[in-house]
């Protein structure tokens, strides 16, 4: 009667030993599938638009420039210690979410609006807002229109699959006006359609309209109407189900704001090595294990600031030069919405 018990006991011991022996293999991963994939390939793959001045557009040497491009670089600097270890993947408004969901890209920073539907239905999370924006309208000066409320019956060029498309429909419905949408996916094509007179107005995020107008040789021939008809918080997007990766991306964004608050820039960051301010010391990895809490090096924030810059540097380099005011994208202590929790 004791033999079955002995066999059972032996089985339990063997099973326990097998489970124990397999534990190291399971523990090899960081706990973030995305982080492991990025480290394994030694490169961050980031989805961007690739065609928008100020946000993501190659310069004359082929280097991707812009607010979104630099936002991608900050994550590469934080995770890999090198902002140049990055691959940019240009995506359309209709392909961007599928690319992120499928794992084609590790991160999406493509002037993408944070909405309930996208976060609840698409399996995505928004980790930070690098640009608080709103839908606007650009018209030709010759149209002699001074308000969006004068666009009743107008044809409007807009990209399909965007929050702009929905915002326009809501605005015209509320104001009991009618319009005819001209839906064009390709950005260059939609802009050419507007320039050629195929539509009366061009509508997208106000930032994109302002940068488009600023790059025209005859910019005074265009007017950005005063109405901002929606809230469009744009920023970093990741897949749901990888909480550590979400934390990494979110805090990579936050450290840019904290560095700006303390006046820490890419040029002077090393001068703060003897700082006595506790949060500055934690930010730069001089004390504490804030980086390790994110599965990163404790110098991750230092690498972000040193290699890419604080938020103001990134903004000025890409947006201010286009003549677009910072406005609500200022830090909270300067009347803006950019606010970061403390590092402690």
Q: Is 267 a residue whose pLDDT tops 90?
A: yes
- 57 is a domain residue: yes
CATH number of the domain that residue 113 is part of: 3.40.190.10
Do 128 and 241 lie in one domain? The reply is yes
Do 209 and 275 lie in one domain? The reply is no
pLDDT tens-place string over residues 129-172: 999 999 999 999 999 999 999 999 999 999 998 999 999 999 99
Q: Is 13 a residue whose pLDDT tops 60?
A: no
- Per-residue pLDDT at 177: 98
Do 58 and 97 lie in one domain? The reply is yes
Instruction: Tell me the C-alpha distance between 309 and 183, whole Å.
Output: 38
Do 45 and 116 lie in one domain? The reply is yes
The pTM for the full model equals 0.85
The domain containing residue 151 runs over which residues? 135-230
- Which of 17-31, 98-112, 162-176, 321-335 is predicted with the least confidence, judged by mean pLDDT? 17-31
Domain boundary among 215, 230, 245: 230
Do 244 and 288 lie in one domain? The reply is yes
- Per-residue pLDDT at 23: 29
Residue 26 CB-half CA count within 13 A:
6
Q: Is 322 a residue whose pLDDT tops 90?
A: no
Domain boundary among 177, 211, 230: 230
Beta bridge partners of 124: 239
Domain boundary among 230, 249, 265: 230
Report the candidate in 106, 89, 166 with the shortest Cα–Cα distance to residue 135.
166
Do 150 and 291 lie in one domain? The reply is no
- 90 is a domain residue: yes
pLDDT tens-place string over residues 78-124: 999 999 999 999 999 999 999 999 999 999 999 999 999 999 999 99
Q: Rounded mean pLDDT of the chain?
A: 91
Residue 150 CB-half CA count within 13 A:
13
Do 265 and 210 lie in one domain? The reply is no
Do 151 and 172 lie in one domain? The reply is yes
Q: How many CB atoms lie within 10 A of CB 124?
A: 19
Burial 21-56 (b: 16+ CB within 10 A, else e): eeeeeeeeeeebebbbbbeeeebbbbbbbbebbbbb
Band of the pLDDT at 28, cuts 50, 70, 90?
low
Do 301 and 211 lie in one domain? The reply is no
- 37 is a domain residue: yes
pLDDT tens-place string over residues 214-260: 889 999 999 999 999 999 999 999 999 999 999 999 999 999 999 99
- 22 is a domain residue: no
Domain count along the chain: 2
């Amino acid at each position: 009667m004791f033999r079955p018990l002995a066999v059972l006991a032996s089985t339990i011991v063997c099973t326990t030993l097998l489970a124990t022996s397999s534990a190291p293999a399971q523990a090899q991963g960081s706990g973030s599938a995305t982080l492991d994939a990025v480290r394994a390939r030694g490169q961050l793959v980031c989805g961007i638009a690739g065609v928008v001045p100020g946000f993501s557009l190659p310069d004359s040497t082929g280097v991707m420039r812009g607010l979104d491009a630099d936002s991608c670089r900050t994550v590469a600097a934080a995770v890999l210690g090198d902002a140049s270890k990055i691959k940019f993947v240009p995506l359309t408004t209709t392909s961007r979410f599928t690319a992120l969901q499928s794992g084609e890209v590790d991160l999406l920073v493509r002037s993408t609006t944070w909405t309930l539907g996208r976060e609840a239905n698409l399996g995505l999370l928004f980790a930070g807002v690098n640009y608080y924006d709103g839908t606007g309208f650009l018209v030709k000066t010759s149209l002699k229109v001074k308000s969006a409320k004068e666009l009743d019956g107008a044809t409007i060029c807009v990209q399909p699959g965007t929050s702009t498309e929905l915002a326009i429909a809501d605005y015209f419905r509320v104001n009991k006006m009618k319009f005819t949408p001209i839906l064009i996916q390709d950005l260059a094509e939609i802009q050419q359609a507007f320039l050629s007179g195929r539509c009366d107005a061009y509508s997208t995020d106000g930032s994109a309209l302002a940068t488009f107008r600023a790059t025209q040789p005859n910019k005074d021939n265009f007017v950005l109407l005063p109405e901002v008809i929606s809230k469009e918080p744009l920023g970093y997007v990741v897949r749901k189900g990888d909480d550590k990766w979400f934390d990494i991306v979110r805090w990579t964004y936050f450290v840019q704001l904290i560095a700006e608050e303390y006046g820490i820039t890419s040029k002077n960051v090393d001068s703060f090595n003897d700082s006595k301010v506790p949060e500055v010391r934690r930010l730069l990895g001089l004390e504490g294990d804030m980086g390790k809490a994110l599965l990163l090096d404790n110098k991750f924030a230092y690498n972000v600031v040193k290699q890419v810059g604080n938020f103001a540097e990134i903004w000025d380099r890409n947006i201010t030069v286009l003549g677009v005011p910072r406005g609500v994208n200022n830090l909270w202590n300067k009347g803006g919405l950019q606010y970061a929790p403390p590092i402690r």
